Structure 1
Amino acid sequence: VKAAVLHGVDQPLLIEDIDIDEPRAGEVLVKTSATGVCHSDLHFIEGLYPSRFPVVLGHESAGVVEKIGEGVTNVVPGDRVVVAFVASCALCDNCVQGKPYLCTGGQTRHDRLSFGGENVTQFAGMSAFAEYQLISASACVPVPDDVPMEVAALVGCSVMTGVGAASNTARIEVGSTVAVVGCGGVGLNVIQGAIASGASRVIAVDMLENKLASAKEFGATDVVDAS
């Protein structure tokens, strides 16, 4: 399996052939169709976040189910899926208490990918910068056939981060006025999350004209050029 492998801080990603395990019970092998480069990936490359090397990064993706492990019932081979990087373990206290979004079971693994006999860290339980991903079945979210894969991939991180910030963290109420500072990938999805939550006025703030134009397309009622 070809993958973009990071061997150390500030090192280039090298396209190399790695070995990937067969899916075990509760696991799925997904053939990657599209993956985004999130700024969080760059943080790990730059050493701003710690990681064990070598590692295959990538956590914003979509693909097609290739194989399923024993007991998997939510998907079948051939299904088109978004891969959620916050898959729950179903075993930790938060999962058992019905709060899978606060899962502490951890998704980063160190023993399912290998390169030249050396274990390769599987980032976020995914490692989307590879031709195939070995993931938990709970990370698979089926998507309709008419959704382009490059669009579906964004749902795996930037969309759910932004929309979730608006609906779950800020808990925006109907009729609210909301200001969104920064209209990048996450900010744009905060805007549409605010609109979906019923905000009557959404003020987008940025320093770039193209981002403010995108903010209007995503539903902002007002824009402020902060430059």
Structure 2
Amino acid sequence: MKTKGALLWEPGTNSGWQIDDIEIDPPKDGEVVVRLAASGMCHSDQHLDTGDIPLDWAPILGGHEGAGVIEEVGPNVDGLAVGDHVVLQFLPTCGSCWFCVRGQTNLCDMTANVLSGFAPDGTHRVHSKGHGVGCYSYLGTFSEYVVAHQRSVIKIGKDIPLDVAALAGCGVPTGYGSAVYAAETEIGDTCVVIGCGGVGSNAIQGFRIAGAENIIAVDPVPFKQDSAKKFGATLTSPSIEEAYDLVYNETHGRMADRVVVTMGVGDAQKLEAMMSLVRKGGTLVFTNVVTMNQIDAKIALYMFSMSGKRLQGTLYGSCNPRNDIPKLMNLYRRGELLLDELITTRYKLDDINTGWKDLEDGKIIRGLIDYSL
């Protein structure tokens, strides 16, 4: 199959995404072909261009958020058929490794090579200009057609609009799960979200749905502060330092029960300031991508130990996507989870670099590549 895709030929150089002709192979064992309705523009894709996530191979077909309709089914596929509406999850789940059996499917062993530049069987499904093309996270949703392993595909109801369902592949469960599962939020909690873009907005929603009483949104961009209120923020602040007084006053000095960090690029040097927002025995969830060579974090270890605080990392919001993505779709049906409101701007695939510039300039919560445009 011949189509077009957004490729990085020189990752880590800020050279931008190039729209090129690509050829996609038929599905192999356990794979399906999905025609996408839309692809979310997650900041993690742009980290490949900036070099925050360094890769030593190219070209890359980006994109890891998407939803669409199955058009072809390969051999030995179970539970999926032509015409099914599906969401693509950015980390596959094998269902049988040690982590999957424990219910920690977000840590599935199958995810170990999602940045290898190959399909799970070690070959390429996509080709361009005589080169094998690596698909980001085994997917590559910056193309209208995707060949995906069944372990990366989740069937959803046909009543869910596919454009908004695309966001359920990464940003929505990552933010929601960071608040609900990783932070273990309880009814009546005071919570803080640092960074209110696509993932942070869903962390705010997660706190709201879990029953938090106070939700303080921290972001330097006024547009994002205003948007945070739509998703459930009760107070906003332009900085971590200014948020301290808000949290102090709201809790009579006790400080926040839960803090989730979802900045565009994490800054380990601000970790101690972030931890100052957390009460004794409270939890800070670090969801952020940071540059991979950043290993020095500033934290007062004595006070960290004596205060009983918890610093929690999380991948995919500690969700079990096969269980949680259908749950999130039900929350959307009931009007409790806002998805349409997350989409600030829709772009043609040809305009993808405009979308990244809008993201950098703080103009959007979530950009969407809409294949109907």
Partner of 2:128: 115
| 1:131-210 map, 5 Å | 131-210=144-223
Percent identical across equivalent pairs?
41
Equivalent residue letter for 1:40: S
CA distance, structure 1, for counterparts of residue 51 and residue 235 of structure 2? 37
Q: Secondary structure at the match of 2:20?
A: strand
Report if the CA contact (8 A) 2:189-2:212 is conserved.
yes
Measured after TM superposition, the shift of residue 86 of structure 1 is 1.2
Partner of 1:59: 64
CA distance, structure 1, for counterparts of residue 237 and residue 51 of structure 2? 34
Partner of 1:124: 137
CA distance, structure 2, for counterparts of residue 183 and residue 116 of structure 1? 39
Q: Secondary structure at the match of 1:36?
A: strand
CA distance, structure 2, for counterparts of residue 91 and residue 47 of structure 1? 33
Is the counterpart of residue 45 in structure 1 residue 58 in structure 2? no
Measured after TM superposition, the shift of residue 35 of structure 1 is 0.7
Report if the CA contact (8 A) 2:67-2:86 is conserved.
yes
Equivalent residue letter for 1:115: S
Structure 1 stretches lacking a partner, 5+ long: none
Is the counterpart of residue 84 in structure 1 residue 89 in structure 2? yes
CA distance, structure 1, for counterparts of residue 174 and residue 103 of structure 2? 20
CA distance, structure 2, for counterparts of residue 113 and residue 186 of structure 1? 29
CA distance, structure 2, for counterparts of residue 24 and residue 154 of structure 1? 26
CA gap of 1:126–1:197, structure 2 versus 1, over 3 A, is: same
Is the counterpart of residue 72 in structure 1 residue 77 in structure 2? yes
- Tell me which protein shows more helix as a share of its residues: 2
| 1:28-43 map, 5 Å | 28-43=32-47
Is the counterpart of residue 211 in structure 1 residue 216 in structure 2? no
Measured after TM superposition, the shift of residue 103 of structure 1 is 1.3
Report if the CA contact (8 A) 1:28-1:134 is conserved.
yes
Correspondent of 2:19 among 1, 15, 18 = 15
Is the counterpart of residue 103 in structure 1 residue 108 in structure 2? yes
Measured after TM superposition, the shift of residue 60 of structure 1 is 1.2
Partner of 1:3: 5
Report if the CA contact (8 A) 2:92-2:110 is conserved.
no
CA RMSD of aligned residues (A): 2.0
Measured after TM superposition, the shift of residue 223 of structure 1 is 2.5
Worse-matched range after superposition: 154-163 or 134-143: 134-143
CA gap of 1:25–1:96, structure 2 versus 1, over 3 A, is: farther
Measured after TM superposition, the shift of residue 97 of structure 1 is 4.0
Report if the CA contact (8 A) 2:61-2:140 is conserved.
yes
TM-score calculated relative to the size of structure 2: 0.57
TM-score calculated relative to the size of structure 1: 0.90
Q: How many residues of Structure 1 are paired with residues of Structure 2 in the alignment?
A: 227
Report if the CA contact (8 A) 1:91-1:105 is conserved.
no
Q: Give 1 or 2 for the bigger CA radius of gyration.
A: 2
- Tell me which protein shows more strand as a share of its residues: 1
Structure 2 stretches lacking a partner, 5+ long: 119-123, 243-373
Worse-matched range after superposition: 195-204 or 86-95: 86-95
